[in-house]
Structure 1
Amino acid sequence: MYEQRPVHPLRTVSGPLEAARVRGPVLAHEHLALDLSSGGDPTAVLDDRHRGAVTAELAALREEFGLGLVVELTCRGMGRDVAALVRISRESGVAVVVGTGWYYERFHPAGTAGAGVDELTEVLVREIEGGIDGTGVRPGVIGEAGSHGDAPSGQEVLTLTAAARAAKSTGLPVATHAQLGRGGPAQLELLTGAGLEPHRVSIGHQDLLDDAGVHRELAAEGAYVAFDTVGKENYVSDDARLRLLLALLEAGHADRVLLSCDISRYGYLTSKGGTGYGHLFRSFLPRLRAAGADDALIDLLTRRNPLRFLTGGTSDDEEL
């Protein structure tokens, strides 16, 4: 019933975009508009009060670093606001890809529990093919599809399986949320067990897991390993992130790495004293260069890898 097929071109909130036209870096896991306050934290919000600051940050990064694309992984139950994303993209001049799917169980919206895999899959396929909430804007990624703990809960098994089936049907990739970096191998086993090829999967938040062996395991299986909370030193220091990233690069897996900052509350914005969306470019990448990374490697990590992930490519042979 569900045949896997690649997605070309990229699906952005402003319409189709050929990957070859993205010449600058990509932020592979960000949030530009979300509301996670239902989880008990009123600061886990980016709404209309912050839209100007978000837009200004992206515009400045486009001017300074050539930022070409943001992968926005606010999905169902996370306060997704497609109209806001369209405005932010238009006003900043930065292309935005929007996600669909279900975050981890705590944030599943009403009606998710009790639905079977077939029903959940059809919900995603309808949204991917027909657009979100009548806007006509079509998701370009399934994510961040979540679980918490070393293995998904029963409900998370259903939503992750639906994500895999919808990905096979529509050609979209799946980007996961692995709570504090845990559970990545179980996520990958579930998704590939449902028939999704590993190169269509990005396992999230692996820079929060101080286990280079797990990172190598995921990359060797063919999945992307997301170091996507760069700058969140209240969780893990950037020193540790750099050490773990260098270990993965030295193991020969540079083509499996995705990088981003996962800005997920207004306190992370530079206007609020936070590190902002640009921390990757202004702080972390210079340190990676000092450790020996050249321009070609930086381009691989920040542009070619995420574009290959989004379009389903299996090698760097495509004109990216």
Structure 2
Amino acid sequence: MTVMHPIRTVTGPLAADRVDGPVLAHEHLALDLRRDGDDQAVLAEGHRTAIAAELAGLRAEHGLSLVVEQTCRGMGRDAAALARISRQAQVAVVASTGWYYEPFHPDEVAAADVDALTGMLLADIEDGLDGTGVRPGLIAEVGGHAEPTRAERRVLTAAARAATAADLPLATHAHLGRGGPAQLELLTGAGLPAHRICIGHQDLLDDPATHRELAAAGAYVAFDTIGKEPYQSDERRLRLLLALLDAGHADRVLLSCDISRHSYLRGHGGHGYGHLFRSFLPRARAAGVDDDLVDLLTRRNPLRFLTGATTEEF
């Protein structure tokens, strides 16, 4: 039986058996991806109150227990803000370290080899993020194009090595859903077991065969941009999800909304962090997904991913 370590949250260790409500497996609460004049791609100080209020409302209405926050190095990470939001909302938050895909790599990536990059991640994991003492519980969202660039391959390899050394899970950014099998091959080739890996944004990829391939290999498959209709309709996302469930891979799926712009916040007129609970899951239930399966998708699976537990243990 796997030894399950407590989940590292921004306010301290949390025993997995204390998480009795749903988990949002890929979100952003503090973020800055502004470039090329795109001022929407930010979740900053002025948005903190609205974010905390939204999470508190989801805790009260839907039992939201945990948010996995995947903002990493070069993405405007703010661990101190995450701790404040978590305390205000009374919702546990897991912070991350890693590097996003190459257009957002900070200068430190270009100057470092795999060993140096691995050392940077391990320093974050052991010493805490950005001088706050907040320790990450995840390496994410480690980015790559459909064909990873040379820099992305170095980052992915370093991330796998650090995750293996620290016994942490790793979640990827597969740009527009593409390149997942290549990411999985690279990460497992660097020594990280497939069950510690989540391949991101697969709900943007209309390719059920790839979803089955990733799940059959033992990786988690993230349907994590739910509600982002300009990228993909939720109707198609649901069709892809049901196909993966029907193929027998319900224990490999993670769900979330990936809120990454302040215009997505409910208080700013967007669909918000709760779109999964308010809209998508009711449609899934209407299509035959029962309450036990919803609990598997939204609570037990993310806990298994975060802790490395087996299906028998959760």
User: Conserved in 2, the CA contact under 8 Å of 1:6 and 1:172?
Assistant: no
Letter in 2 for 1:280: L
Letter in 1 for 2:312: D
Alignment match, 1:13: 10
User: Conserved in 2, the CA contact under 8 Å of 1:28 and 1:258?
Assistant: yes
**2:201 aligned with 1:205, yes or no?**
yes
Alignment match, 1:301: 297
User: In the aligned structure 2, how far is the partner of 1:189 from the partner of 1:39?
Assistant: 33
Alignment match, 1:218: 214
- Select 1:261's aligned residue among 257, 260, 271: 257
Alignment match, 1:275: 271
TM-score when normalising by structure 1: 0.96
State the Cα distance separating 1:39 from its structure 2 match. 5.5
Runs of 4 or more, structure 1, over 4 Å off, are: none
Q: Deviations over 1:31-58 (max 9, x none)?
A: 0010000354211000011001100100
SS of residue matched to 2:164: helix
User: Conserved in 2, the CA contact under 8 Å of 1:117 and 1:158?
Assistant: yes
SS of residue matched to 1:84: helix
User: Conserved in 2, the CA contact under 8 Å of 1:28 and 1:260?
Assistant: yes
State the Cα distance separating 1:12 from its structure 2 match. 0.0
User: In the aligned structure 2, how far is the partner of 1:6 from the partner of 1:101?
Assistant: 25
What's the % identity of the aligned pairs? 71
User: In the aligned structure 1, how far is the partner of 2:33 from the partner of 2:107?
Assistant: 15
Letter in 1 for 2:94: V
User: In the aligned structure 2, how far is the partner of 1:77 from the partner of 1:30?
Assistant: 16
Letter in 2 for 1:156: E
User: In the aligned structure 2, how far is the partner of 1:65 from the partner of 1:299?
Assistant: 12
Alignment match, 1:170: 166
**Structure 2: runs of 5 or more not aligned:** none
SS of residue matched to 1:96: strand
Alignment match, 2:109: 112
User: In the aligned structure 2, how far is the partner of 1:7 from the partner of 1:90?
Assistant: 25
**Structure 1: runs of 5 or more not aligned:** none
Q: Deviations over 1:98-123 (max 9, x none)?
A: 00000001111112103110000010
User: In the aligned structure 1, how far is the partner of 2:288 from the partner of 2:186?
Assistant: 36
Residues 1:223 and 1:70: Cα distance change in structure 2 (over 3 Å): same
User: In the aligned structure 2, how far is the partner of 1:29 from the partner of 1:39?
Assistant: 25
SS of residue matched to 2:68: strand
**2:232 aligned with 1:240, yes or no?**
no
- Select 1:230's aligned residue among 226, 230, 250: 226
Q: CA RMSD in A?
A: 1.0
User: In the aligned structure 2, how far is the partner of 1:21 from the partner of 1:193?
Assistant: 34
